Structure 1
Amino acid sequence: MSTVSRTADDQQAIISSYRRYLSKGRASLGEMFGGDVEEYSSGAWLRTATGRKILNCGGYGVFLMGARHPRVITEVTRQLNSNPIATRLLLEPQAARAAEALVQVAPAGLQKVHFACGGAEAVEAAIKLGRAHGKRHLVSMESGYHGKTLGALSVTAKETFQNPFRPLLPDVSHVPYGDAEALDRVLAQHPGEACVIVEPVQGEAGVIIPPDGYLRAVEEACRRHGAFFVLDEIQTGLGRVGHWWAADREGVVPDVLLVGKGLSGGVVPVSALVATPEAFGPFDKDPFIHTSTFSCHPLAMAAAQGAIAAIKEDGLVERAAALGDLLIPQLRDIAVRELGDRVREVRGRGLLIGIEFTVPGLAGDLLLELIGAGVLGNHSLNSSTVMRLTPPAVLTDADVDFLLDAFRYAARAVLN
């Protein structure tokens, strides 16, 4: 049997295992995207079982520093060879070091950290912390996305995801994103008892950018009505939008900032809640009020330290801003030239980029053509008309040219 045949057999075996042991739907989705299997990644590129090289502009915001960044790998390997999982009873130094590193780059005034494993878990922690302060009415934004655990799902205003699992948490309001006056009206009905959670850019909604001044107006409304202000920067934080935090653009300091995705360094999953000392009070007082077995596990703490160090040392925040300024207008020009009025808008901040179409199904078709051309993108869970690109900030000039050429090819191919 030839090598190619063995590879094809292996791929089919993996698809069969997915279908049998994981999810039939996930197996079908994999087949729709060509059935290829990723097996190796480095920097901006991944390699499949068939030997294809694919530029990774997907990953939903995880790979800001690319895959297997040497700084992160060094930190994680060192920890793996010494103490990968801690007892949780004794103190463990990597947790303290990771918390200090995160506070040093967080907006001023956020000084306390709770680590978790995934974004939804960080959202759950924020909801519980708000409740501990008596903030029992949750307010989130229409089309927002905060995860799919029960509490996070309650503030993820998408009926497709919510309906199979009702009843969800009670006392939840959803208001239009970008409409600070609508938020103010809802908060006025719940003085002193609301917890507001908002994204500075709605990623899963299709890279929806609010009006200038919106986050500042949200913060002011929260202060005016005694609401608990949670800013979900799980996707936008740590340089993705060309700033350390999207909050930095407007000088906003929430009660709680949520961090994830890029904090992993693309190596070990980790998320965090970073809070003011006042907001963190209930967790500060009682170390058992909210716990998790793998919170602060040393491998993740090493990855977080490596990720923050890599972002600083490689100037990835500035690089993300520069690449966004380069890519967004060129992608817009190609999209308009090749697809005309089938494109509604190409928009983004930094390396969080959305391409919205006027024709149903075109986003998915373009995503498939783009993969065929050697570039991996993202769909948008809350918007079927938007394809997203979340490239790493380590793209070289040659990588940028490859991305633009592949996008041009895919845009032409999708019409045939």
Structure 2
Amino acid sequence: MTAPARTRDSAGLIRAEEPVLAHNYHPLPVVVARAEGSWVEDVEGRRYLDMLAGYSALNFGHRHPALVEAAHRQLDRLTLTSRAFHHDRLAEFAERLAALTGLDMVLPMNTGAEAVESGVKVARKWAYDVKGVPADRATIVVAADNFHGRTTTIVSFSTDETARTGFGPFTPGFRIVPYNDLAALEAAVDETTAAVLIEPVQGEAGVIVPDDGYLAGVREVTRRAGCLFVADEIQSGLGRTGRTLAVDHEGVVPDVLLLGKALGGGIVPVSAVVARREVLGVLRPGEHGSTFGGNPLAAAVGTAVVGLLETGEFQRRAAELGVVLREGLAGLAGKGVVGFRARGLWAGVDIDPAIGTGRGISERLMREGVLVKDTHGSTIRLAPPLTVTAEELRSALQVLGTVLGRA
């Protein structure tokens, strides 16, 4: 007889997953059972400082009291109606999210990939209805090394062969240009271009921060070309970079904003397309939808998330602690760190390949009680909850220094 999960240790639970779960992930060998704030605890009671925060889904830490309370209150009232009916939480969520971002209208969805897919559909519909692009000729310009999700349309414009191989045929209509290259971007835009879709900071690629002026340049290119600027802020948005949005660093307002991850507070999946009225206004009943999109529970939690951001506290924390993060990483330069990029409380750290792979360093840090995750090659990502303290952050950096020193 199979033992109940609660009686298994970490090794047993990991073994139990092997025959019954698809092998589409390669997690670190830690089995989390409880969490609070910046800390998680495994089934044996070992504690770890979370320096990944669910790829920014946990910007406000694990089980933030205001978010948990909002979820509990809503669970006792109403969780789902579908969009066949109105419900009493949706208007406030949309009003406050639009005001927070400086845009007009909200299309609520569930996951980040759904937000991107929805953004692609909206951009194409706008191109046909408003710009006058001939039917089925619309193109969207994207950046190499992007990460926007893993649906078949999205991997069609990925340059990561791991994400693409074996999943064709691919969706046409996308032009890929180098990231942070305005000249290449401008050359790719023409009368068929519906939108330019980019991440203001490329997360999966290793927290790639563009040159100053790049985002403003994208805004100007799209303005001159009469196409949309779609900013994917699913990882970079909602406080992570020290501003509400990463585009705020250059005072740029995109036409379409894609949000997710932190919008659900680490409690429920919540995403949204937020846009100018004349863009989202192209959708008509029946052309797009989601049974769970904007459900009462999601709207209640999303509204509570917006409430936390309206205070500005988390944006300030990310900016101030970002200085601590950069100073700590600068102190490790030449001591196992060969380079890093940071914006706010978010960094991609390139480890000397002679010391180890990103995966290997992540496993060593895990054994020392710090959780991070690798990306390509010898790069690791640091994205702690915005609730982390300066002392916790310095402690994690000290552990990183110790691990690199031993290596």
| Shared fold, TM over 0.5 | yes
SS of aligned partner of 2:77:
coil
What secondary structure is seen at the aligned counterpart in 2 of 1:258?
A: strand
- Percent identity reads 36
Shift in Å, 1:319: 0.3
The answer to whether structure 1 residue 171 and structure 2 residue 165 are counterparts is no
1:403 aligns with 2:396: yes
- Aligned position for 2:143: 141
One of 307, 310, 326 as aligned partner of 1:309: 307
Could you say what secondary structure the match of 2:241 adopts? coil
Aligned equivalent of 1:377: 372
Residue 179 of structure 1 aligns to which amino acid in structure 2?
Answer: D
Work out the CA distance in 2 between the residues paired with 1:314 and 1:100: 18
Aligned to 2:233: 233
Shift of 1:326: 1.2
- Of 88, 97, 114, 2:92 maps to 97
Displacement of 1:157: 2.5
Matches within 5 A, 1:107-146: 108=102, 110-133=103-126, 134=128, 136-146=138-148
Instruction: Give me the CA root mean square deviation.
Output: 1.8
Q: Pairwise mapping of residues 355-394 of structure 1 onto structure 2 (< 5 A)?
A: 355-359=349-353, 361-380=356-375, 383-394=376-387
The structure-2 alpha-carbon separation of the partners of 1:25 and 1:200, relative to structure 1 and needing over 3 Å to count, comes to closer
Give the Cα–Cα distance (whole angstroms) in 1 for the partners of residues 294 and 300 of structure 2: 10
Q: CA deviation at 1:230?
A: 0.7
Matched with 1:3 is none
What CA distance in whole angstroms lies between the structure 2 residues aligned with 1:167 and 1:325? 45
The gaps in structure 2 that reach 5 residues or longer are none
Whether 1:53 and 2:47 are equivalent positions in the alignment is yes
Are 2:78 and 1:83 aligned? yes
Quote how far apart the aligned CAs of 1:308 are: 1.6
Residue identity in the other structure for 1:315: E
Q: C-alpha separation between the residues in 1 aligned to 2:9 and 2:298?
A: 32
Q: What secondary structure, in the 3-state scheme, does the structure 1 residue paired with 2:381 have?
A: strand
CA shift digits 1:352-375 (9 cap, x unpaired): 111013417532221111111111
Farther off after superposition, 125-134 or 362-371: 362-371
Q: What's 1:212 paired with?
A: 212
**2:247 aligned with 1:224:** no
Q: 1:160 to 1:87 in 2, by over 3 A?
A: closer
Q: Report Cα offsets for 1:269-302 as digits up to 9, x if no partner.
A: 111100001111212xx13210011111111111
Corresponding position of 2:61: 66
**Distance between the aligned counterparts of 1:233 and 1:389, measured in 2?**
17
- Contact 1:65/1:311, CA 8 A, preserved across alignment: no
SS in 2 for 1:98: helix
**Partner in structure 2 of residue 263 of structure 1:** 263
Write 1 or 2 for the structure with the bigger share of helix.
1
Residue 24 of structure 1: how far off its partner (Å)? 4.0
Residues 9, 89 of structure 1: alpha-carbon distance in 2 compared, 3 angstrom cutoff: closer
Q: Distance in 1 between matches of 2:245 and 2:393?
A: 24
Mapped contact 2:359–2:373 kept (Cα < 8 A): no
SS at match of 2:377: strand
The structural deviation recorded for 1:312 is 3.4
Q: Are the aligned partners of 2:147 and 2:158 in contact in 1 as well (CA < 8 Å)?
A: yes
CA contact (8 A) 1:335 1:411 kept: no
TM superposition shift of 1:155: 2.8
SS of structure 1 residue aligned to 2:66: helix
What's the offset of the Cα at 1:142? 0.6
Q: Count the aligned residue pairs.
A: 392
Amino acid at match of 2:88: P
Q: 1:145 and 1:75 mapped to 2: Cα distance?
A: 31
Q: Runs (4+) of structure 1 moved beyond 6 Å? A: none
Normalised by the length of structure 1, the TM-score is 0.90
User: Deviations along 1:185-243, whole A, 9 cap, x unmatched?
Assistant: 010xx314332100111010001111111011111111212222211011111110000
Q: Which residue is equivalent to 1:196? A: 196
**Greater mean alpha carbon deviation, residues 149-158 or residues 234-243:** 149-158
Distance 2:61 2:144 in 1: 31
Task: Verify the 8 A CA contact 2:100 2:310 in the aligned structure 1.
Answer: no
Q: Give the distance between the partners of 2:114 and 2:240, measured in 1 at CA.
A: 21
1:184 is aligned to 186
> What SS does structure 1 have at the residue aligned with 2:282?
helix
CA contact 2:110–2:271 (8 Å) conserved in 1:
yes
Contact 1:138 1:155 in 2 (8 A): no
Task: Report how far residue 389 of structure 1 moved.
Answer: 0.4
Deviations 1:359-394 (Å, cap 9, x if unpaired)?
Answer: 1753222111111111111222xx223100001111
Q: Which moved more, 1:207-216 or 1:8-17?
A: 8-17
1:324-343 residue pairs with structure 2 within 5 A?
324-336=322-334, 338-339=335-336, 343=337
Could you tell me which runs of 5 or more consecutive residues in structure 1 were left unpaired when the two chains were aligned: 1-5
Tell whether 2:338 aligns with 1:344. Answer: yes
- The question of whether the paired residues in 1 share the 8 Å contact of 2:347 and 2:382 is answered with yes
* Residue of structure 1 equivalent to 2:34: 40
Bigger mean CA deviation after superposition, 369-378 or 326-335: 326-335
For residue 359 of structure 1, what is the amino acid of its counterpart?
P
Closer, same or farther in 2 for the Cα pair 1:192/1:87, shift >3 Å?
closer
For the pair 1:21 / 2:23, whether they are aligned, the reply is no
**Structure 2 residue aligned with 1:290:** 288
What letter matches 2:203 in structure 1? G
Shift of 1:347: 1.6
Once residues 124 and 399 of structure 1 are traced to their aligned partners in structure 2, the CA distance between those partners, rounded to angstroms, is 37
Residue 239 of structure 2 corresponds to residue 245 of structure 1: no
SS in structure 1 of the partner of residue 231 of structure 2: strand
User: How far did residue 90 of structure 1 move?
Assistant: 2.1
Shift in Å, 1:313: 4.1
